[in-house]
Amino acid sequence: MKIEITEQAQKWFENELGVGNGLGVRFLGKVYGKTDVHEGFSLGIEVAEPEDPIAQVTYNDITYFAEKQDEWFFTEYDLKVTYNEERNEPVYHFVGDEK
């Protein structure tokens, strides 16, 4: 699994979440909702410190990651985060994992 975040989406996370002090942005699977590839589950985010990441990337001193316990949610997919200017929010894309 890879995580990619566009520059506009990075700015949103920096401004809206106020991440600092060695913390990062965790992506996780949540019960209820829907994604492009999941029925009954949605993607959640939280400010946290990586403990056992399966994937991580750092932009502007902020680490974006997914933990081992959420591997079931990301199996076979990379996560690309873009930004929707009209809605002023990130958009999450699940891309077939090209291992």
On whether the CB atoms of residues 48 and 24 are closer than 8 A, the answer is: yes
By residue range, what is the domain housing residue 37? 3-96
- Provide the pLDDT for residue 7: 96
Confidence of residue 48 (pLDDT cuts 50, 70, 90): very high
CATH classification of the domain holding 40: 2.60.300.12
The pTM score is 0.87
Q: How many domains does the chain have?
A: 1
Mean pLDDT confidence for 38-53: 84
Question: What is the DSSP secondary-structure string of 10-34?
Answer: HHHHHHHH---TT-EEEEEEEEEEE
